[in-house]
A and B are shown apart, each in its own frame.
Chain A
Amino acid sequence: MQAMVEHVDDVTVVVLPGVSLDASNAKEFKRGMTSLLNTQSKVVFDLQQVQFVDSSGLGGLLSCLRQLTAVGGELKLCGMAKSVRDLFALVRMDRIFDIFSTQADAIVAFQEKGQ
């Protein structure tokens, strides 16, 4: 499954495909993002379509975050369903990730930083 990638100014927005990001596809998703994360420095993951994230999915997202920040980039998340937000809160990942309600908010956050 291919993620939809958009560019808004210098921000790359990835709309994650599929209903769930879990043990069945987390690794695959990560692999698919590797090249993008190597080349882009401002990335937004839009999870508007994702209904379900499990710990593997979370691990995958974390891995993306680390890969990006290792090369000086930044990752923001948006469009998370309530249950996904609750999961992040449960494992305190809401302090690690920058989470925004909408895509627009995430993009604005990049721009406000004046980067």
Chain B
Amino acid sequence: MVNTPRYRAATALRDVVSQFIDELGQSTEALAHCTATAIAYLDATSIQWLTVQDGCICCHQRTNQPSCLAGTRLGSRHCEIIEARYEGRSLGSVIVCCDSSQSPALAALRQIVQTVVRRVELERENASLLVELAGSWESLEAVYELSSDMRILQDPADLLDRITEKAASIHAGLGAILWLEDNGQLVPMATKNIPPVKTRPIGEGLIAQVVAERAAIILNSRAQIISVPRLEPELHQAVSLAIIPVATRQGVLGVLEVWQEGGESEFDSRMLRLLEALALQAAMVIENDRLHHAALESERLRQEVQIGSDIQQILLLGQPPEDIPDIEVAALTIPSQRIDGDFYEFVKHHERCLDVIVGDVMGKGIPAALLGAATKSHFLRAIGRLGSDSVPGKLAEPTAIVSAVAAAVTKQLIDLESFVTLCYARIDLEKYQLDLVDCGHTRTIHLDRELGTCVFLRGDNLPLGVLEGESYSQISVLLHPGDVLLFYSDGVTEARDPSGKAFGDDSLAELVQANGHFSPKQLIEVVRTVVTTFSQPAAVADDLTCVAIKIGGAPKCLQITHTELELSSDLTELVQVRHFVDGLRWLVRDLSMSEKRFSELALAVHEAICNIIIHAYRRQSGQRIRLEADVCMQQVTVRIYDWGEAFDPTSIEPPGFDGSRESGFGVYIIAHSVDEVHHSRDAQGTNCISLLKRLG
């Protein structure tokens, strides 16, 4: 603690008088002696001789009531009374006794008296300023101590307690309470020298006024205090009080309430200064604590988002396979502010068959993410279990898999009041077919390279977790090389631009149509760019999830010549087929296909059509057969469509090569005359055999 000179804030008149007399005596001594003037000080009770002169009758008399009062002459001496006044109060009288009334000492002495009074006044003022300064210094000291405390004590409750203690100790016998205002309630944070108090409504007394006006109230008179309506209960015995707002720039946080019940000290400016300093400290402690909590909360939230993001990456999102020759897969996720329930998984059965599962759990945050992960794991389990149960070499149907998962999760989803939309897609390149079980999910976009169309595929199953005991149906669609499939979450189509307009699935389909010739990776980059630009400057609200798949075996060239032929199921029409094939021969004339290879293709086409006429249509004439051929730099593809009976190439026995049988060569010839043969049949009963012959 620093040593300071301390000046008492004494206002007793006695001190002033004694100071006045001292000063007066000192200032007049020399003059009085030179001019043989006697000076005395007189107040109501006594007379004090400052300078005595021989030969002055008054001095000799030395009575309390010198007869030279009121200007009477006594002998040859002249006496005069000069009044001294200080701050409107009489300091007494100065008697000046000199030779004559014309004595120059008289005028000088009058002047001196006034000067001394003035000097005393100034000194008093000085003294009180120093007292103020001391008060400020005390406040500074208190603040300094508290700052040191803050560095040591971590708990804001301890700090507030210290502050209140300091407030209560600026004078003996003070009670103090530090209140925090919270939604109209006063919460006691610390109390000193009084019994405990409880949280109570702010009321309509002095504290409410201090909070409302953000200004301190100081009352130093009992009369004033008891006349306050709705006075705070603890103040009912107070003789003086001070209530200081605890406030920051943002507003009033509470009050520091200090009062005295006995004794006579008043709350003066020095104490007020100190209390204000303490109140400011309290405000800083509280504010600091709030900021600290806000930072902790923000950190906790950031951690939750990080955990969610990790869950998402590891559990919810599968790895697109990169090792399937004719199926190119790319996936995109843009996470939103909070994690979503989007998930996807890829199951490669073999080189020619890939299952894709894309789903969305209703809800947000970690609960939704966990449900998504659980659903995904059910799928993998069901695929494994059904796979081992089924006939070797035959995969479980998508409807069976979805049904198995639904049986496992529906009840739990209903209990959790959540549901899962999903799309289970099987891409089978043996049949060039897509089987889709759509359970309330967004419509899958199918860009058909053959027909040049871009359509939405949708099923009509309910999402999982809506009803128990549901059955699931699948739709089947023919695929062609170059086709593109796009699965996506509703975060994409429901992304909104600043004006509130949604992106929409039509816009997405247009994007696919315009960019379908790119690789799936490039396509989803375009989707990412377009959708994030669309919804700027806002961040995306839901996760954006997108899986793009491109079917291969595609003509890499861009130039395709396409021809078609419709004919009816008569063997006599075979000549038309020959003309058609001659036309193809002409189309490939500039290309490097050898005559041998072309003849092989022609033979295969011919055989295929014979099979259709003889077997699919059972020689029924007048039935529709359609041929399409695509010629490009690498190959010729001929597709033949019919609407007759289904044909299973695996049911044909190999032909006999010993000449004992005359039939059964057709399928064998086809298979060995072209590079690739594909059979497929869609849900509408369209059979398609596709023959591909490479140029060389």
Interface residues of A (CB under 8 A from B): 20, 22-24, 52, 54-56, 58-60, 62-63, 65-66, 82-83, 86-87, 90-93, 95-96
Interface residues of B (CB under 8 A from A): 571-572, 574-575, 578, 595-596, 599-600, 602-603, 606-607, 610, 613-614, 655, 657-659, 661-663, 665-666, 668-669, 672-673
With contact pairs A86-B596, A90-B672, A91-B669 given, residues A22 and B663 touching in the complex (Cβ less than 8 Å) = no
Nearest-neighbour CB distance to chain A for B438, whole angstroms, equals: 43
With contact pairs A24-B572, A96-B658 given, residues A55 and B596 touching in the complex (Cβ less than 8 Å) = no
- Point out the residue from A63, A65, A66, A90 that lies within 8 Å of B669, measured CB to CB: A90
- Point out the residue from A24, A86, A91 that lies within 8 Å of B600, measured CB to CB: A86
Complex: chain B residue closest to A84, CB-CB:
B599
Nearest-neighbour CB distance to chain B for A45, whole angstroms, equals: 15
**Which 8 A-B pairs rank lowest in CB-CB distance, beginning with the nearest?**
A59-B662, A55-B665, A83-B599, A96-B659, A24-B571, A23-B610, A92-B657, A55-B666
User: Chain A contacts of B672 at CB under 8 A?
Assistant: 90
B610 touches A55 (CB 8 A): yes
A91 touches B658 (CB 8 A): no
A23 touches B571 (CB 8 A): yes
User: Chain B contacts of A54 at CB under 8 A?
Assistant: 603, 606-607, 610, 666, 669
- Point out the residue from B572, B606, B613 that lies within 8 Å of A52, measured CB to CB: B606
Give 19 A-B pairs besides A24-B571, A59-B662 with Cβ atoms closer than 8 angstroms: A22-B606, A23-B613, A24-B572, A24-B575, A54-B669, A55-B610, A56-B610, A59-B663, A66-B662, A83-B596, A86-B599, A86-B600, A87-B669, A90-B669, A91-B657, A91-B669, A93-B659, A96-B658, A96-B659
B603 touches A63 (CB 8 A): no
User: Chain A contacts of B665 at CB under 8 A?
Assistant: 55, 58-59, 91
Once the chains are docked, how many angstroms separate the CA of A63 from the CA of B578?
A: 25
Complex: chain B residue closest to A23, CB-CB:
B610
User: Chain A contacts of B657 at CB under 8 A?
Assistant: 91-93, 95
A52 touches B578 (CB 8 A): yes
B614 touches A23 (CB 8 A): yes
B662 touches A83 (CB 8 A): no
User: Chain B contacts of A62 at CB under 8 A?
Assistant: 659, 661-662
- Point out the residue from A63, A66, A91 that lies within 8 Å of B668, measured CB to CB: A91
B599 touches A55 (CB 8 A): no
Count A-B contacts at CB 8 Å: 69
Q: List 19 A-B contacts (CB under 8 A).
A: A22-B606, A23-B571, A24-B571, A24-B574, A24-B575, A52-B578, A54-B607, A55-B663, A59-B662, A60-B662, A62-B659, A63-B662, A66-B662, A83-B596, A87-B669, A90-B672, A91-B657, A91-B669, A92-B657
Complex: chain A residue closest to B570, CB-CB:
A24
User: Chain A contacts of B668 at CB under 8 A?
Assistant: 91
Nearest-neighbour CB distance to chain A for B458, whole angstroms, equals: 43
User: Chain A contacts of B571 at CB under 8 A?
Assistant: 23-24
User: Chain A contacts of B599 at CB under 8 A?
Assistant: 82-83, 86
- Point out the residue from B574, B600, B607 that lies within 8 Å of A55, measured CB to CB: B607
Once the chains are docked, how many angstroms separate the CA of A86 from the CA of B599?
A: 9
Nearest-neighbour CB distance to chain B for A33, whole angstroms, equals: 14
Once the chains are docked, how many angstroms separate the CA of A93 from the CA of B668?
A: 13
A66 touches B659 (CB 8 A): yes
Once the chains are docked, how many angstroms separate the CA of A36 from the CA of B16?
A: 165
User: Chain B contacts of A66 at CB under 8 A?
Assistant: 659, 662
User: Chain B contacts of A20 at CB under 8 A?
Assistant: 578
User: Chain B contacts of A23 at CB under 8 A?
Assistant: 571, 574, 610, 613-614
Once the chains are docked, how many angstroms separate the CA of A93 from the CA of B100?
A: 172
Complex: chain A residue closest to B572, CB-CB:
A24
Complex: chain A residue closest to B663, CB-CB:
A59
Once the chains are docked, how many angstroms separate the CA of A92 from the CA of B658?
A: 8
User: Chain B contacts of A56 at CB under 8 A?
Assistant: 610
Complex: chain B residue closest to A60, CB-CB:
B662
Once the chains are docked, how many angstroms separate the CA of A59 from the CA of B657?
A: 12
Nearest-neighbour CB distance to chain B for A94, whole angstroms, equals: 11
Complex: chain A residue closest to B610, CB-CB:
A23
Nearest-neighbour CB distance to chain A for B58, whole angstroms, equals: 163
User: Chain A contacts of B673 at CB under 8 A?
Assistant: 90
> Which one of B578, B596, B603, B614 has the highest number of Cβ atoms from chain A below 10 Å of its Cβ?
B603
Complex: chain B residue closest to A90, CB-CB:
B672
User: Chain B contacts of A90 at CB under 8 A?
Assistant: 669, 672-673
Once the chains are docked, how many angstroms separate the CA of A55 from the CA of B578?
A: 15
A82 touches B610 (CB 8 A): no
With contact pairs A20-B578, A22-B574 given, residues A55 and B669 touching in the complex (Cβ less than 8 Å) = yes
Once the chains are docked, how many angstroms separate the CA of A96 from the CA of B660?
A: 10
Once the chains are docked, how many angstroms separate the CA of A66 from the CA of B613?
A: 27
Once the chains are docked, how many angstroms separate the CA of A5 from the CA of B79?
A: 186
Once the chains are docked, how many angstroms separate the CA of A93 from the CA of B571?
A: 24
Once the chains are docked, how many angstroms separate the CA of A8 from the CA of B12?
A: 167
Complex: chain A residue closest to B573, CB-CB:
A24
User: Chain A contacts of B606 at CB under 8 A?
Assistant: 22, 52, 54
Once the chains are docked, how many angstroms separate the CA of A58 from the CA of B655?
A: 12
Once the chains are docked, how many angstroms separate the CA of A62 from the CA of B657?
A: 11
Nearest-neighbour CB distance to chain A for B610, whole angstroms, equals: 4
> Which one of A20, A56, A92 has the highest number of Cβ atoms from chain B below 10 Å of its Cβ?
A56
Nearest-neighbour CB distance to chain A for B652, whole angstroms, equals: 12
Once the chains are docked, how many angstroms separate the CA of A51 from the CA of B622?
A: 27
User: Chain A contacts of B663 at CB under 8 A?
Assistant: 55, 59
Once the chains are docked, how many angstroms separate the CA of A65 from the CA of B662?
A: 10
Nearest-neighbour CB distance to chain B for A34, whole angstroms, equals: 14
A87 touches B659 (CB 8 A): no
Nearest-neighbour CB distance to chain A for B485, whole angstroms, equals: 38
Once the chains are docked, how many angstroms separate the CA of A77 from the CA of B596?
A: 21
User: Chain A contacts of B595 at CB under 8 A?
Assistant: 82-83
User: Chain B contacts of A52 at CB under 8 A?
Assistant: 578, 602-603, 606
B603 touches A82 (CB 8 A): no
User: Chain B contacts of A92 at CB under 8 A?
Assistant: 657
A87 touches B603 (CB 8 A): yes
Nearest-neighbour CB distance to chain A for B582, whole angstroms, equals: 11
Once the chains are docked, how many angstroms separate the CA of A56 from the CA of B596?
A: 20
User: Chain A contacts of B613 at CB under 8 A?
Assistant: 23
- Point out the residue from A24, A65, A91, A95 that lies within 8 Å of B655, measured CB to CB: A91
Once the chains are docked, how many angstroms separate the CA of A20 from the CA of B613?
A: 18
Nearest-neighbour CB distance to chain B for A80, whole angstroms, equals: 13
B607 touches A82 (CB 8 A): no
> Which one of A20, A22, A62, A63 has the highest number of Cβ atoms from chain B below 10 Å of its Cβ?
A22
Once the chains are docked, how many angstroms separate the CA of A91 from the CA of B673?
A: 11
B659 touches A65 (CB 8 A): yes
User: Chain B contacts of A87 at CB under 8 A?
Assistant: 603, 669
Once the chains are docked, how many angstroms separate the CA of A4 from the CA of B666?
A: 29
Once the chains are docked, how many angstroms separate the CA of A91 from the CA of B659?
A: 10
Once the chains are docked, how many angstroms separate the CA of A90 from the CA of B597?
A: 13
Once the chains are docked, how many angstroms separate the CA of A105 from the CA of B602?
A: 30
User: Chain B contacts of A63 at CB under 8 A?
Assistant: 662
> Which one of B572, B663, B668 has the highest number of Cβ atoms from chain A below 10 Å of its Cβ?
B663
Once the chains are docked, how many angstroms separate the CA of A93 from the CA of B666?
A: 14
